[in-house]
């Protein structure tokens, strides 16, 4: 089956990804820990120690009340973290931890929530109640309040939505959830390494949030796979544990079994190198680039969604979008077909100038 090896893509023209080039220190650490498995901590002790440091680092970013004792783990990515948050809330709702199938549980999420919640609901056999967003693409608290009931195990809030980079009104949503006896999950998979440098309310300190998704392999500049799940209380993860014969550890709360030590070591190295000043600079640069691109696109007459976090959406016609793809730009579209540019750290001002030059050429 030997065939010529393809080259990995360059990031030069990647505007569509929520991942980025890993920090050099993170890449080096990932390479060193490539042959380790934090899912088997009794065998792979060093990487298990690193995972505790990764969780403490993430908990620091997310303003957990006690970062050194925070409960959580490095997931395969945001999807696993979101699935696990739904699963934990399902299992804890009415304290029916069993699998008797007698549950009638729902999860309320804004239409802006990532499709991993659809996946989670299909997987976990819970009802997903998707409620409309407001004119600014944020969860509408009135719609959420109207959707929750006694069966609501979880209210999902988004801190940096995939399509528009929006932050939901999290304290308001948390108050609604509290009233309904539901738990609150914040999906900050993409936003989590940018939000600490904004005035937005999203963290454990800002609202009575139960669980948070925050991914080192997005704005954290760690290599894939390094997602993150954090919980305010140990009980949130305890509700996920299954017994583990054959391992010298007693139980496992993760969704996957064998896990990547490269991701864990890379996440720690990235946070060591970049928290907080490196992340602050990256967040500010990305925000400047997004604001600049939005203004340039608006100047050209496109209908632009004003960026809140570093993500620009503009109503570029399908024919122009197709021509940009043909020119090698890895851009993507929202559900309504609008151009979507994610201003990750690898997306420089020079990249965006070249992109606009190509767009101008296409429009001529």
Residues 90-119 that bind a copy of itself (CB under 8 A): 99, 101, 103-104, 114-116, 118-119
What whole-number distance in Å separates Cα of residue 128 and Cα of residue 184?
A: 14
User: Looking at 32-40, 142-150, 170-178, 295-303, which segment touches a copy of itself (CB under 8 A)?
Assistant: 32-40
Nearer to a copy of itself, 114 or 183 (CB): 114
Binding to a copy of itself (CB under 8 A): which residues in 183-202?
none
Among 24, 122, 149, 360, binds a copy of itself (CB under 8 A): 122
Tokens 């729902």 correspond to 106
Rg for the chain, CA atoms, rounded: 21
CB 150 to a copy of itself: min, Å: 16
Tokens 């669980």 correspond to 211
Nearer to a copy of itself, 169 or 227 (CB): 227
Structure tokens at 313: 């959406």
Nearer to a copy of itself, 116 or 289 (CB): 116
The answer to whether the bond into 54 is cis (omega within 30° of 0) is: no
Binding to a copy of itself (CB under 8 A): which residues in 50-89?
50, 53, 56-57, 60, 76-80, 83, 87
Nearer to a copy of itself, 21 or 206 (CB): 21
CB 222 within 8 Å of CB 193? no
CB 85 to a copy of itself: min, Å: 13
Nearer to a copy of itself, 64 or 174 (CB): 64
Structure tokens at 25: 């220190």
Q: Give the DSSP letter of residue 251.
A: E
Binding to a copy of itself (CB under 8 A): which residues in 299-338?
330, 332-335
What whole-number distance in Å separates Cα of residue 75 and Cα of residue 215?
A: 8
100-106 contacts, C-beta under 8 A, 24 or more apart? 104/151, 105/151, 105/152, 105/153, 106/149, 106/151, 106/152, 106/153
Binding to a copy of itself (CB under 8 A): which residues in 221-260?
223-225, 227, 242-248, 252, 255-260
Nearer to a copy of itself, 33 or 202 (CB): 33
CB 107 within 8 Å of CB 128? yes
What whole-number distance in Å separates Cα of residue 118 and Cα of residue 129?
A: 10
280 binds a copy of itself (CB under 8 A): no
CB 364 to a copy of itself: min, Å: 25
Task: Please work out the total of residues on this chain that contact a copy of itself, with binding judged by CB under 8 A.
Answer: 100
**How many Cβ atoms are within 10 Å of 177's Cβ, its own excluded?**
27
What whole-number distance in Å separates Cα of residue 116 and Cα of residue 81?
A: 9
CB 16 to a copy of itself: min, Å: 5
What whole-number distance in Å separates Cα of residue 221 and Cα of residue 263?
A: 11
Among 22, 151, 191, 228, binds a copy of itself (CB under 8 A): 22
Classify 152 as helix, strand or coil.
strand
Nearer to a copy of itself, 59 or 148 (CB): 59
CB 111 to a copy of itself: min, Å: 10
What does each C-alpha distance from 287 to 120, 136, 165, 221 come to in angstroms?
31, 18, 11, 16
Binding to a copy of itself (CB under 8 A): which residues in 154-183?
162-163
CB 239 to a copy of itself: min, Å: 10
Among 55, 70, 109, 121, binds a copy of itself (CB under 8 A): 121
Nearer to a copy of itself, 66 or 115 (CB): 115
Structure tokens at 80: 């696993």
Among 271, 282, 341, 352, binds a copy of itself (CB under 8 A): 271
């Amino acid at each position: 089956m030997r065939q010529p090896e393809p080259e990995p893509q360059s990031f030069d023209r990647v505007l569509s990804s929520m991942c980025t080039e890993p920090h050099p220190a993170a890449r080096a650490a990932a390479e060193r820990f490539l042959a380790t498995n934090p899912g088997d901590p009794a065998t792979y002790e060093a990487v298990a120690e690193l995972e505790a440091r990764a969780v403490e680092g993430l908990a620091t970013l997310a303003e957990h009340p006690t970062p050194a004792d925070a409960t959580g783990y490095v997931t395969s990515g945001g999807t696993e973290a979101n699935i696990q948050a739904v699963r934990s809330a399902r299992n804890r709702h009415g304290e029916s931890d069993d699998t008797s199938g007698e549950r009638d549980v729902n999860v309320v999420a804004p239409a802006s929530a990532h499709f991993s919640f659809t996946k989670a609901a299909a997987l976990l056999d819970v009802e997903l109640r998707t409620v409309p967003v407001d004119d600014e693409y944020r969860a509408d608290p009135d719609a959420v309040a109207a959707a929750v009931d006694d069966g609501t195990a979880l209210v999902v809030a988004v801190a940096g939505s995939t399509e528009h980079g929006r932050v939901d009104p999290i304290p308001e949503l948390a108050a609604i959830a509290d009233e309904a006896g539901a738990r609150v999950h914040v999906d900050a998979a993409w936003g989590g390494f940018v939000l600490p440098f904004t005035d937005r309310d999203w963290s454990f300190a800002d609202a009575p949030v139960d669980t948070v998704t925050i991914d080192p392999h997005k704005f954290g500049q760690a290599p894939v796979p390094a997602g993150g799940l954090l919980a305010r209380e140990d009980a949130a993860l305890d509700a996920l544990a299954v017994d583990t014969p054959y391992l010298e550890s007693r139980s496992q709360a993760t969704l996957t079994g064998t896990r990547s030590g490269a991701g864990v070591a890379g996440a720690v190295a990235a946070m060591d190198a970049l928290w907080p000043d490196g992340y602050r600079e990256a967040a500010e640069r990305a925000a400047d680039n997004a604001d600049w691109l939005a203004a340039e696109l608006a100047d050209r007459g496109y209908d632009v969604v004003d960026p809140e976090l570093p993500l620009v959406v503009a109503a570029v016609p399908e024919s122009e979008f197709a021509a940009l793809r043909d020119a090698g730009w890895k851009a993507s579209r929202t559900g309504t077909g609008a151009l979507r540019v994610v201003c990750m750290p690898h997306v420089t001002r020079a990249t965006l100038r070249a992109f606009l030059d190509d767009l101008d050429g296409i429009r001529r």
